[in-house]
Structure 1
Amino acid sequence: MLAFNFLSTSGVPFPKSNHKYPINASLSDPNLCNRAHNQRTLHCPPLLFHKSTSQFAESGLKPSNNAFFLGSSSKPTSQISHSTPNLNQICGNPYGFVSKSNKQILRAASGTPQEAYPDGEIESSKSNKTLQLAVVFGLWYFQNIVFNIYNKKVLNIFPFPWLLASFQLFVGSVWMFFLWSFKLQPCPKISKPFIFALLGPALFHTIGHISACVSFSKVAVSFTHVIKSSEPVFSVIFSSFLGDTYPLKVWLSILPIVMGCSLAAITEVSFNFQGLWGALISNVGFVLRNIYSKKSLQSFKEVNGLNLYGWISIISLLYLFPVAVFVEGSQWVAGYHKALETIEIPSTFYLWVIISGVFYHLYNQSSYQALDDISPLTFSVGNTMKRVVVIVSTILVFRNPVRPLNALGSAIAVLGTFLYSQVTSKKIAKKNEGEKEN
């Protein structure tokens, strides 16, 4: 409205060659327009000035010292009126587009009521995003539970974690090749620098995966996950050695993790040193994978998380399988026949192995999809709750005996992990805000 008042009171004249009357005179006295029209010296269509100011902006009109011009044209208004007989096209903005936000601001300034559909679209978009996120979280939890259950079932009758871990990486590799071949997932450009940058993270991923599988084969799944909840402790320690600094809150948050894991380990019914060390080494492997990935993959940010994980799985398979053959290859045939005798139905054993491989990849895929759509804080909280759900689910399925002190230690460790995720995520958020301001 300020712009319209300025135009209607300024009295900016047209060029003298067109007419001697100013714009505000033509607006206040319609007879002037009629006389000008009869003399063929001035064309003053009512649509041009009786519309709201939003249509001034949308039509491309802009003020000059002497007159209004269309776009970058230097023609006087009388010539524009003859060359553009349909002014509705001008107001409809045939020469470009104005952003929605600008249109809404102009409509609000002119008093024109805004359309109701943008708010409805925003609410619908938020609702769809929330529903999509809930589905991703549900799939992530469900797939992780299924993997842990069938992974343990296979290891109970076929205790060869090196072969099973290799098969799970093989299934993930085949799955990614399927997605890339049918263009269900865009395939990243492969180059020597990209492959070399992946060698380190893939190596540490291999160490973390095989160590976890060894732990699963020796102790209860719940105990392995309790020990794996101590991963933040190793993250803080290794990052500190590499020069990162952490506030006192972070160091205090890892104390309950250490205390809880120690209490759970002392009171664990199925305690086994190989299982304990496997879980601890798994933490070290995954922490080093995360730290090394930040340094070696900085120049490949265009590769999304799913493609990155796919190539890490492929390289990890190349690392792991030759070592698996060397470590336990001579025992596979005898172990296979013993497993078939134990289960009696071969197809059941095959189904369990396939399910463990498929769901191992699927739950990792869902975690990367969740991480792409949510903040690190929400992801950390979700990951902590996922660990609780997996621990409870496996205890119910396998009916593992749990002592009260063991349950207390597990709860303290998980609570410490939750506190750590809260503190570190807030630190990351503040750091990102500072970088944006700079």
Structure 2
Amino acid sequence: MICSLKQVGVSFSCSDVVLRRKQSNPFQSSLLLPSIPKGKAERSLVSVHKPLHLSSPTEKFSTSNLPTVNTRGNFIRCEAFEADRSDIEASTPSEAAKKLKIGIYFAIWWALNVVFNIYNKKVLNAYPYPWLTSTLSLACGSLMMLISWATRIVEAPKTDFEFWKTLFPVAVAHTIGHVAATVSMSKVAVSFTHIIKSGEPAFSVVVSRFLLGESFPVPVYLSLVPIIGGCALAAVTELNFNMTGFMGAMISNLAFVFRNIFSKRGMKGKSVSGMNYYACLSILSLLILTPFAVAVEGPQMWAAGWQTALSQIGPRFVWWVAAQSVFYHLYNQVSYMSLDEISPLTFSIGNSMKRISVIVSSIIIFHTPVQPINALGAAIAILGTFLYSQAKQ
């Protein structure tokens, strides 16, 4: 065992002269620090530079030239060393490094999400089968992780029945949210879907308040007003409004809030990393979604639509399907890596802020017509999200 010596108002340092009191017990005296010549002050007085550590005889050190004390037939050996403060501080990651790590995760997450949304919309425009598109996204991610585990690129997680039991409600929520968002984007513009989905913090607060019993300060509740008002204004003034697309985005909001909360709970006390956790989630969601996708759309519709898309788009269509599937898995994987470090509410904030880049990029790429009042509603909703994040801090 190695420990630091501390005394009220005093810290011992190896680099300085140490003065100590006389010990009435010779055993205690010989175990402490070297004797001070007579005539010196017999009080503890040192200058503080580096901490002093003592090691017990249970540790194996080279101590051939250290004094040995014999008491009651037991030999005890004592040695000391000094440690730089930097060595101690280095063992604990700094808060700045943690924030930088989360910032990098967020930047990659948002960039991958933009790419996914672009290719996903391209696929849905040419191939309007959101249930199959959602299934392919999960299948691609599951296959990528199974190959990574088999080739030992990524260490396979150690799971048991209890882990999969805890994961099941997360997978159900993830499946519903994923399909609902894809259905929404197949019916309306990407920008509109994400404007509505920027209201996710409101769902997160409501769920956390009434189901988890969490309370929030008044500014947090007030920040929800512009979020809800902005989303409502954008919906009312949307040129290509579609009720199915609107409800899909709303259902996706609610489902993903439950997914994030269940995920955070399920990841507590588990040795599974965020990357492997999402991989297991994709596999279980794929098993849940596949039979429903077959029942709702079916192989005959898929085959006919595939031939039509290939005839209209050409081989590029296959690349679009592959790209949207791969980037869907990658952006979600990175988001779960960040979820390792943050709370569900912070995750919802990051999820909302990324929508700015998605909305702007989709309007530019797809030339989506936007009325000034519609843009104002989106701006108000995004401003509300920013105010919400500030109120949370």
8 Å contact kept, 1:204–1:288: yes
Partners in 2 of 1:181 and 1:328 — Cα distance? 33
Alignment of 1:423 onto 2:391 = yes
- 1:183 is aligned to 152
Matched residue, 1:216: 185
The residue aligned with 2:286 is 317
Distance, in Å, in 2 between the alignment partners of 1:287 and 1:337 is 37
User: Which residue number in structure 1 is paired with residue 325 of structure 2?
Assistant: 357
Q: Which AA in structure 2 matches 1:386?
A: K
Pairs within 5 Å for 1:35-434: 73-74=69-70, 103-104=83-84, 135-242=104-211, 244-247=213-216, 248-293=218-263, 297=266, 300-329=269-298, 330-343=300-313, 345-346=314-315, 348-373=316-341, 381-424=349-392, 426=393
Displacement of 1:322 after TM fit? Answer: 1.1
- In structure 2, what is the Cα distance between the partners aligned to 1:327 and 1:59? 69
Query: How many angstroms apart in 2 are the aligned matches of 1:185 and 1:354?
Result: 22
Shift of 1:308: 1.6
CA distance in 2, matches of 1:54, 1:422: 41
For 1:19-34, what aligned pairs fall within 5 Å after superposition? 24-25=36-37
Offset at residue 257 of structure 1 (A)? 1.4
Change (3 A) 1:411 1:53: closer
1:202 to partner: Cα distance: 0.6
Aligned length: 354
Amino acid at match of 2:69: S
Distance 1:211 1:399, change over 3 A: same
Higher alpha-carbon Rg: 1
Aligned partners of 2:116 and 2:327 also within 8 Å: yes
Q: Are the aligned partners of 1:12 and 1:23 in contact in 2 as well (CA < 8 Å)?
A: no
TM-score normalized by structure 1? 0.70
Query: Is 1:6 aligned to residue 19 of structure 2?
Result: yes
Structure 1 pair 300–401 and aligned structure 2 pair: CA distance change class (3 A) = same
Contact 1:141-1:386 within 8 A present in 2 as well: yes
Shift of 1:340: 1.3
* Cα shift at 1:403: 0.6
Identity score, percent? 46
Aligned equivalents of 1:354 and 1:340: distance in 2? 14
Deviation at 1:177, TM superposition (A): 1.0
Q: Cα distance 1:119–1:376, how it changes in 2: closer, same or farther (>3 A)?
A: farther
CA deviation digits over 1:160-213, x for unaligned, max 9?
Answer: 000010000001111111222223333222322222222211111100000000
Give the equivalent residue in structure 1 for 2:6.
none
List gaps (5 residues or longer) in structure 1.
Answer: 16-21, 29-51, 62-68, 85-89, 106-116, 427-438
Q: 1:55 to 1:231 in 2, by over 3 A?
A: closer
Query: Shift of the alpha carbon at 1:317?
Result: 0.6
SS in 2 for 1:73: strand
Q: Is this contact kept in 1: 2:137–2:328, CA < 8 A?
A: yes
Contact 1:143 1:359 in 2 (8 A): yes
**Aligned position for 2:4:** none
User: Which 10-residue stretch deviates more, 275-284 or 194-203?
Assistant: 194-203
Q: Is the 8 A contact 1:60 1:71 kept in 2?
A: no
Residues 377 and 422 in structure 1, CA contact (< 8 A), matched pair in contact too = no
User: Does the residue aligned with 1:6 lie in a helix, a strand or coil?
Assistant: coil
